[in-house]
């Protein structure tokens, strides 16, 4: 979209975005500030937004709590990273593959499948939670990493998202590739995926965030298999004395999804720069 390039216009835009952006940044800023507040300042009355004497007290406290646990914290961190990275890669791949025929083939069966996709995203997981557990138990997936990864793979939002973006790939390009003798796999990997790069980079962000924050407490009993979020919410919920540690937990949990966001968004912008050259 081309906006007026006048200085006045730019200033208005920045002011507007700044105002709205402040709304979004405030709670995060608050979390950061609280993480550095010593305990007596957290409960200070009247409350203050900013920290007066920043300290690392809360970080030390969290570290001490972690030391007392009989499973080392590294183990939980590994669990979270493994499930998030592997799960995200798998889901983005499975969803994109499923979206391609839904967007670019014409068949009555696929039309029906598309409606199932739409129906499935309307459905809340609450109802299916118990039957789903029964099925996972029967497949021997309870208490394994698969319990956290596999159910997510059947999610339909990613398929719906990728399909919407694949609709924008011109049919003429696919036809040209077919006439040149390109197989369907060639078309998918060399044409469709590069052209929908902004879409799947965005999907990576959503999926990673979902996996990263997943607790999985219903499916995992083994202490050494638990996710970081499950363990950290246990730590944070252990009472008033842990309030500071809770803020640190929130701060630390925020960082990895944010890194994924920054990396993939800069990649999206790179794509934009290239499309501008054409």
Partner 1 sequence: MGDGVKKLTLRGREAVNGYLFILPWVIGLLLFFIAPMIESIRFSFAEVSISDSGFSVSINGIDNARNFWENYRYFLLADASFLEKLRTTALDTAAAVIVITVFSLFVAALLHGKFKGRNVYRAVFFLPVIMTTGVMYLLIQQGMSGGELYTSTSIVDSGNAFTFKVTSLRDIMLQGGLNADFVEAVTKLVNQIFNYVSKAGVQILLFLSGLAKIPASHYEAAKIEGANGWESFWKITFPIISPVIFLNTIYTMLDSFITYGMENSGNVTMYAIQQMGFGKVMRFDYAAAMSWIYTLMIIVFVLLAYLAVGLPSSKVTEGR
Q: How far is the CB of 69 from partner 1 (least distance, A)?
A: 17
Q: How far is the CB of 22 from partner 1 (least distance, A)?
A: 8
User: By C-beta, is 71 or 113 nearer to partner 1?
Assistant: 113
Q: How far is the CB of 108 from partner 1 (least distance, A)?
A: 12
Alpha-carbon torsion 188, 190, 196, 201, what sign? Answer: positive
User: By C-beta, is 82 or 198 nearer to partner 1?
Assistant: 198
Q: How far is the CB of 75 from partner 1 (least distance, A)?
A: 18
User: By C-beta, is 174 or 225 nearer to partner 1?
Assistant: 174
User: By C-beta, is 27 or 54 nearer to partner 1?
Assistant: 27
Q: How far is the CB of 250 from partner 1 (least distance, A)?
A: 4
User: By C-beta, is 165 or 225 nearer to partner 1?
Assistant: 165
CA distances from 185 to 84, 153, 160, 212, 278 (A): 26, 21, 20, 31, 26
């Amino acid at each position: 979209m081309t906006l007026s390039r006048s200085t006045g216009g730019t200033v208005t835009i920045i002011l507007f975005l700044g105002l709205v952006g402040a709304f979004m940044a405030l709670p995060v800023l608050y979390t950061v500030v609280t993480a550095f507040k010593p305990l007596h300042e957290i409960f200070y009355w009247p409350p203050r937004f900013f920290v007066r004497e920043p300290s690392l007290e809360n970080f030390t406290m969290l570290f001490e709590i972690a030391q007392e646990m009989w499973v080392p914290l590294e183990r939980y961190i590994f669990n979270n990273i493994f499930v998030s990275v592997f799960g995200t890669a798998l889901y983005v791949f499975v969803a994109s593959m499923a979206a391609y025929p839904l967007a670019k083939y014409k068949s009555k069966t696929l039309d029906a499948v598309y409606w199932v996709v739409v129906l499935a995203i309307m459905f809340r997981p609450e109802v299916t939670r118990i039957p789903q557990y029964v099925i996972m138990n029967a497949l021997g997936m309870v208490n394994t990493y698969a319990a956290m990864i596999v159910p997510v793979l059947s999610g339909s939002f990613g398929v719906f998202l990728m399909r919407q973006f694949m609709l924008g790939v011109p049919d003429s390009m696919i036809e040209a590739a077919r006439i040149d003798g390109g197989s369907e796999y060639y078309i998918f990997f060399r044409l469709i995926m590069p052209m929908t790069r902004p879409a799947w980079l965005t999907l990576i962000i959503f999926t990673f965030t979902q996996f990263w924050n997943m607790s999985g407490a219903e499916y995992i009993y083994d202490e050494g298999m638990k996710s970081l979020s499950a363990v950290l919410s246990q730590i944070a919920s252990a009472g008033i004395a842990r309030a500071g540690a809770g803020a640190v937990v929130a701060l630390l949990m925020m960082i990895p999804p944010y890194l994924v966001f920054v990396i993939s968004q800069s990649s999206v912008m790179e794509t934009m720069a290239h499309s501008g050259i054409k």
